[in-house]
Amino acid sequence: MSKLPKINELLSPDKIEEDFFLFPSWDLGFRALYGGQVMAQALSAAQQTVEAPFVVHSLHCYFLLPGDAKLPVFCQVERVRDGRSFATRRVKAIQKGNIIFDCMCSFQLPENGFNHQTPKMPKVPGPESLNNDIEKYESPSMQVSEKLKTAIPFHKPIEIRSVKSDEDSAQQFVWMRLREHSEVEDKLPFHQRALCYASDYYFLMSAVRKHGLSPSDSNLRLATIDHAIWFHRGFDFNDWVLYVSESPTSASGRAYVRGQLFSSNGDLIASTTQEGLLRLKQETKK
């Protein structure tokens, strides 16, 4: 692939008719369609039905069926509520006639209000001192499958640099940003859906690493069950964002993770939570 795929094209739908939208898919080499893609596309579909200056402040999502990365994603938006200060949209993502994903998006008219922040951005090595995660898979010494070689370009639009931490730690630190500066008319809404796309990267890994496992383990079964994200402040995803995530607990074949995203100047711009399936193959139930 000669040119870098553009995330704005992935998250820009074709309008089929009123409140019905169609999106392309990227195959990242995973077992199923990447969850961050579906979340971001659902948000993009919802944004098409809300007038500016309303901006999204939260999404609450459920993953119902594995998606197929070889097929486009059809999104249907339901206009649940249009109020003076808030608007609510429900979005269903559909493939092969089945609902694979369902979410609620809440939008708010920007307003002045109380402002405080108690979490402080952790002191970790800056992104300038770290290597780009995807580059190791392009090294001649790295043996990767043909499927992954084909998928590598689709990982590049979001630049990710991980901070090394203890192998059995339930906490991880990842720097991320848009690889190419994107100038679009709806700058903040676009950066919100791009951050939503990136928020699913590595998120369950803090739980996986706690148990001494690797995502490349063929016996490991991972799948996102639900995911929520809250946007607290405006931000520019052309600049570096630090994603701090941890897994407080896992039980009953499920792992719970939570995250905080900080701008480079230390502002808490978003918070996330997720619960996912965490099983070994021999424990998998039919």
Question: Which residues does the annotation mark as catalytic?
Answer: 200, 224, 274
The owner of tokens 């089929």 is: 16
DSSP secondary structure string for all residues of 4-61: ---HHHHT-PEEEETTEEEE-----SSSS--HHHHHHHHHHHHHTTS-TT-EEEEEEE
Yes or no: say if 227 and 58 are a contact pair by the CB < 8 Å rule.
no
Tokens, residue 151 = 């998928």
Q: State the Cα–Cα distance between residues 122 and 214, nearest whole angstrom.
A: 25
Q: State the Cα–Cα distance between residues 152 and 135, nearest whole angstrom.
A: 9
Yes or no: say if 38 and 63 are a contact pair by the CB < 8 Å rule.
yes
Q: State the Cα–Cα distance between residues 284 and 46, nearest whole angstrom.
A: 35
**Exposed (0-12), middle (13-18) or buried (19+): which is 116, by Cβ within 10 Å?**
exposed
Closest to 95 (Cα-Cα) out of 33, 44, 16? 33
Helix 35-47 to helix 187-198 angle (10° resolution) is: 160
Backbone angles phi, psi at 47, to 5 degrees: -65, -30
Q: List residues bridging with 222 in a β-sheet.
A: 278
Q: How many residues does the chain have?
A: 286
